[in-house]
Amino acid sequence: MADLWMPGATRLDLGDHAPTDGGPAKAIAHITWDVNATAAKPQDLVPYERLRSYFAGSGKAVAPHILWDPFTGRITQFVPANSRSKSLADQAGGTRTNRAGSVVIQIEALFFPYCRVGSTVYAKLADTPCKGWAELQAWVHSWGVPNAWPMGKPDGFTSRRSASVWATKPGWYAHGDVPENNHTDPGSWPAFVTATPAQPSTPAKPKVSLAHVIYAAKHDPAAAQGHTTHKAEVLTVEKALKAEGLLASQYVDGSFGTKTLEAYARWQRSPAGGGYVGTDADGIPGAASLRRLAARHGFTVTA
């Protein structure tokens, strides 16, 4: 089941919960637009804390579900997802805009056109860092709201109200597209995050055949200098012995020569290698000692 309260958001429950009416799941995009600025006269962004206090106090009657700061990623949630909130105008006898869906999740982005943060002026919400947007979108989507704009993605401060689309289509709606409302925000909105970045694949563990390294340990020492048998698998074992401090780096060459044989015998005698004594610690790998080495150094032992 989806979370009533967005994970990671600050929870500031205003109470006054009320059910929605059912129907297509919706999310409504707003901006706070608490200051009128222009390109010629930009204004400093209003502090997030001021807007949060407003919605928790004198602005309770118009509080959204979510106050989102796209500059820092801070998010405060005022009512649970399955309750209506009150940021939309709702005329008596009309569509009950704040309840017209299985959910009607309302998002207020802390933004106004030509706000100034530091030395940078932002004309559009989509130009901001949009921190926290991916997580916010994912949570809204978990409530059945598709990543779609039935009346078109916000592009300018316009209104495209269609009562029939509103009544029948799930998805995201601009405040300016909601029936009975006369606002034209948000003007723009960040693009949907459509894919999770690919995670680096975990490299497959190297495989070392017990039979191969036994053969190498019995044949390489008597062969010509530098002779290798099953070089890749012997290298894996030698790298592990080097990591244990038992084999000098110049002998990590893929040849199971006398130095490697001596190093493996030291491994067999060590507590981690099994604590073998006498002829049981002869440097010829056994299944138990090789598996212990593999467990410590990330390779797999096969027959």
CA distance 112 to 242: 62
According to the model, what pLDDT value does residue 202 have?
74
Work out the pLDDT band at 197, boundaries 50, 70, 90. Answer: low
Average the pLDDT over 130-135 and give the result. 97
Average pLDDT over residues 57-71: 98
Strands 171-174 and 75-77: unpaired
130-140: burial string, b at 16+ Cβ within 10 Å, e else? bbbbebbbebb
Summarize the confidence of residues 225-246 as an average pLDDT.
93
Answer for the pair 247, 282: CB distance below 8 angstroms, yes or no: no
pLDDT level of residue 154 (50, 70, 90 thresholds): very high
- Which structure tokens are listed for 49? 């804390």
Domain boundaries of the chain, sorted by first residue: 10-177, 207-302
From the list 249, 207, 254, the residue with the least C-alpha distance to 228 is 254
Chain mean pLDDT for the chain? 95
User: Residue 199: its pLDDT value, please?
Assistant: 66
Decide if 291 contacts 303 (C-beta within 8 A): no
pLDDT in tens, 95-117: 999 999 999 999 999 999 999 99
Strand blocks (E) in the chain: 10-11, 26-31, 43-44, 66-68, 75-77, 104-109, 115-117, 120-122, 171-174, 207-209, 300-302
**DSSP secondary structure, 136-195, as one string:** HHHHHHHTT--S--TT----SS-----HHHHHH--EEEEGGGSTT------S--PPP--S
CATH no. of 10-177: 3.40.80
